[in-house]
């Protein structure tokens, strides 16, 4: 029990540290005046356009992010397949846990794919850290699928809160930036807001499930695993309505 508490405290500390770093990197007070940044560039290269540097960084955002997340998710999926299909035959509860792990992997890929193709921003330290944190948590979810339900729900709870931080960062940047972000948010703002709303509900729900399970007997394990699976379903399915159908309608409107 003490180990669980230490794990929760450690996870909370990581989340808070990420928020502090995120705020520090993005706060205007943390940076010198714009003129002080532009002047050295203009002295080094007369007639240079400093905005080109920002455009080049933002232009590479999609390729960098998709490459990074593709590697992590591909390895995680391979580990999931190996864990589920080798060794002893999984029980019904373990199959549900593996299904939950598959949904987590798919959701992370989907959200990063949409975010990096529809929006762009200058990556921060938080953008570098969160994909790896989520990847580690995915591996832990897969490992815990064959262990106790309590430990599985604990890791899933931490994953929800880590996703909440990541999605908050996503929502923050999607509403800012240049014309691309403004146009994308006008079309896909519902997608971003719905995903953020799912995390605002899902993260506390994951805490509730873990706490309730702690005070319940093992005969309730299947119920709690099914509930954990169900909490991810809206986030798993919303891309059909808020992404695929929206772009399908846009394509038809443009071609008419």
* 130 in Cβ contact with 162 (< 8 Å): yes
Q: Is residue 216 classed as helix, strand or coil in its secondary structure?
A: coil
For CA atoms 231, 71, 175, 19, give the dihedral sign. Answer: positive
Residue 33 has pLDDT above 70, yes or no: no
- How many structural domains comprise the chain? 1
- Residue 120: the pLDDT is 81
For residue 40, the enclosing domain spans 2-255
pLDDT tens figures, 235-246: 999 999 998 998
* 59 in Cβ contact with 121 (< 8 Å): no
Dmax over CA atoms of the chain, in Å, equals: 74
- The pTM is what? 0.78
- Residue 97: the pLDDT is 95
Can you tell me the distance from the alpha carbon of 90 to that of 79, in angstroms, rounded to the nearest whole number?
Answer: 15
| Beta carbons within 8 Å of 108's beta carbon, 6+ residues apart | 69, 73, 131, 134, 138, 163
Q: Please, which pLDDT band fits residue 134 given cuts at 50, 70 and 90?
A: very high
Share of the chain above pLDDT 70, in %: 75
Can you tell me the distance from the alpha carbon of 211 to that of 217, in angstroms, rounded to the nearest whole number?
Answer: 12
- Residue 20: the pLDDT is 45
Which tokens in the block code for residue 170? Answer: 């996503």
pLDDT tens figures, 97-118: 999 999 999 999 999 998 888 8
Distances in Å between the alpha carbon of 239 and those of 24, 60, 131, 190? Answer: 32, 24, 20, 10
Find, among 192, 163, 162, the residue nearest to 175 by Cα: 192
């Amino acid at each position: 029990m003490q180990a669980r508490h230490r794990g929760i405290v450690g996870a909370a500390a990581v989340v808070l540290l990420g928020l502090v770093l995120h705020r520090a990197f993005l706060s205007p007070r943390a940076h010198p005046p714009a003129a002080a940044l532009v002047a050295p560039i203009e002295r080094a290269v007369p007639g240079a356009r400093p905005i080109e540097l920002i455009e080049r960084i933002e232009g590479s955002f999609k390729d960098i992010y998709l490459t990074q997340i593709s590697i992590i998710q591909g390895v995680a999926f391979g580990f999931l397949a190996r864990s589920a299909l080798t060794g002893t035959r999984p029980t019904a509860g373990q199959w549900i846990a593996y299904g939950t792990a598959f949904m987590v992997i798919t959701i992370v890929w989907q959200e990063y794919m949409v975010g990096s193709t529809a929006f762009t921003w200058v990556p921060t330290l938080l953008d570098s850290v969160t994909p790896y944190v989520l990847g580690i948590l995915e591996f832990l979810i897969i490992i815990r699928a064959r262990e106790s339900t309590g430990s599985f729900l604990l890791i899933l709870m931490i994953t929800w809160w880590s996703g909440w931080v990541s999605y908050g960062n996503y929502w923050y940047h999607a509403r800012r930036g240049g014309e691309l972000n403004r146009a994308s948010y006008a079309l896909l703002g519902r997608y971003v807001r719905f995903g953020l709303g799912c995390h605002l509900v899902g993260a506390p729900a994951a805490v509730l499930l873990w706490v309730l399970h702690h005070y319940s007997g093992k005969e309730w394990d299947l119920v709690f695993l099914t509930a954990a699976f169900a909490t991810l379903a809206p986030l798993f399915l919303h891309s059909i309505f808020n992404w695929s159908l929206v772009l399908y309608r846009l394509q038809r409107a443009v071609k008419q």
